[in-house]
Amino acid sequence: MGIFTKKPIGKLLLDSSDGERVLKRTLSAGNLVALGIGAIIGAGLFVRTAAAAANNAGPSVTIGFIVAAIGCALAGLCYAEFASMIPIAGSAYTYSYATMGELVAWIIGWDLVLEYAVGAATVGIAWSEYLNKLLEFVHLRVPYQWSHSPFEVCDGKGIFADQMGVHGLMNVPALFIIFMITMLLIRGTKESAVVNGIIVISKVSIVILFIVLGWSYMNPVNHEHYIPAASIYTDSQGVSHKYGGIWGILGAAGVVFFAFIGFDAVSTAAQEAKNPKRDMPIGILGSLVICTILYILFAHVLTGVANVNDFRTVGKEASVAYAINTYMAGYGWLGKMVTVAILFGFSSVILVMLMGQSRVFYSMSRDGLVPKLFSDLHPKFSTPYKSNWIFLVLVGAFAAFVPGDIVGDMTSIGTLFAFILVCAGVWILRVTNPEIPRQFKVPFVPVVSVLGIVVCGAMIAGLGWTNWARLGGWLVIGLVIYYSYSRHNSKLNNESKS
């Protein structure tokens, strides 16, 4: 017993049916697919596509999307088997506890904070930036000092040309959207899913509109060298990128991987699914398939309408709107709708991220690894409202007072690490507990598990040593908390001693 203690599958299932502090089962397979799409389609599609094309792969960014999708699909299959076998809130944390022991479970639970809480704060900051882009259409804006962190100084570009040198004080719009989404989550999971469904329909419709309308505006010259020759490209920040060739495609895969983050958050809602053994695989794999198809078509049209130089110079983070306004005459309204779609996309990503974070800590709290208040449910809404309030403060503080420039890669590396453990966990459980009923089984284990580990590990390698160091530092902090609090309060360990 001790740090390698595993939580038996039978006990996991028994705990989930405890009449006290039980989450309501209100989500259908359709709700779960919508939650997955809501989490996936956001900044990645509208911003990262152009960035990967500009810095890494040109038109072959579509192949980068395919590589990233393969890595996600391999992990997604493993998530689906776990979710159908262990329909408990907590995602990779819960699965790791059952297969690799308490210490690994704690590490992955702590690691998921990078994906969900830090990710939600980062998207909140991006939401604030695009709110000002939308307000610009009606000649309004949130002043620089109230839409940026204290660590940022205005460079006098764009809508803030008259505020050169002004220091940020607090990102009020970012804090506002975090607050509003938290209130919705406290109100109820079903209500949150309904709102998310409306958002998903809106932004997917706009994505499809761009694909359909933009198809006839593609310039064959832009796709003439679909896989550019290998070279080195240095961006405006002085950062060098491997552009073109196989390394360019792999680099693009690492960049656009961020665009797929979110489908695994569906598994955190397993305890709220009406029929988790059937609905969870549909939700996870269904949302991943739909988004992959949309991503490839979107990237193909975008790189056909505009060229790489556009993405590098004038388009940048607003490349989609730039491509529409510059090359698709008469469709300026679509450019404005894309900005609205980005805001919608960011909102639904924040919703699913915050829901996933509170559900992970709900499970950790029930195991005694974090304080009990994280699993206290609202007497009327049956949601972990205290956990939502705590993460409102933490995520809101980050969004309001910290710049979001380096956190995207931290979110990616945290997610990839979780994927590796889930792929390994399925393989381990097939060996140690082959008798457990599995309504959905990953085919060709251990081949699929090994491939998932290799592909995700390769993407981690591509993120560079600075991100490895940040992940290491984050895990050290987590280990200090585990050995000072969680190990002594673990219910499983305490039961074994009594």
What mean pLDDT do residues 341-358 have? 82
Closest C-alpha to 337, from 177, 216, 209, 199: 209
Q: Among 174-183, 232-241, 415-424, 470-479, which is the least confidently predicted range?
A: 232-241
Q: Distance between CA atoms of 115 and 357, rounded to whole angstroms?
A: 8
Q: How many distinct structural domains can be found in the chain?
A: 1
Q: Which tokens go with 272?
A: 């709220």
Asked if residue 20 is part of any domain, the answer here is no
Q: Model confidence over 140-169: pLDDT tens digits?
A: 889 989 998 888 888 776 678 788 888 889
Residue scoring higher pLDDT (485 or 9): 485
The enclosing domain of 60 has a CATH number of 1.20.1740.10
Q: Model confidence over 352-405: pLDDT tens digits?
A: 789 888 888 888 898 899 999 998 988 888 888 999 999 999 999 988 987 765
Helix ranges (H only) for 257-369 are: 276-305, 308-310, 319-327, 332-366
Asked if residue 21 is part of any domain, the answer here is no
Contact 185, 191 (CB under 8 A): no
Give the pLDDT band (50/70/90) at residue 19.
Answer: very low
Asked if residue 250 is part of any domain, the answer here is yes
Tell me: pLDDT of 347 over 90. Answer: no
Asked if residue 22 is part of any domain, the answer here is no
Q: Among 26-35, 85-94, 107-116, which is the least confidently predicted range?
A: 85-94
- The pLDDT, as a whole number, for residue 171 is 93
- The pLDDT, as a whole number, for residue 371 is 93
Domain span at residue 315? Answer: 27-490
Residue scoring higher pLDDT (156 or 105): 105
Please, which residues have CB within 8 angstroms of residue 136's CB and are 6 or more apart in sequence? Answer: 159
DSSP secondary structure of 255-273: HHGGGGTTGGGGGGGGGGB
Tell me: pLDDT of 186 over 80. Answer: yes
Asked if residue 190 is part of any domain, the answer here is yes
Q: What percentage of the chain reaches a pLDDT higher than 70? A: 85
Asked if residue 176 is part of any domain, the answer here is yes
Contact 25, 272 (CB under 8 A): yes
Asked if residue 12 is part of any domain, the answer here is no
- The pLDDT, as a whole number, for residue 81 is 81
Contact 261, 115 (CB under 8 A): yes
Contact 131, 175 (CB under 8 A): no
Asked if residue 418 is part of any domain, the answer here is yes
Contact 125, 141 (CB under 8 A): no
Widest CA span in the chain: 74
Residue scoring higher pLDDT (344 or 373): 373
Q: Model confidence over 191-204: pLDDT tens digits?
A: 666 776 777 777 78
- The pLDDT, as a whole number, for residue 234 is 78
- The pLDDT, as a whole number, for residue 260 is 80
- The pLDDT, as a whole number, for residue 20 is 44
Please, which residues have CB within 8 angstroms of residue 153's CB and are 6 or more apart in sequence? Answer: 165, 166, 167, 168
Give the SS3 label for residue 185: helix
Bridge partners, 234 (sequence order): 240
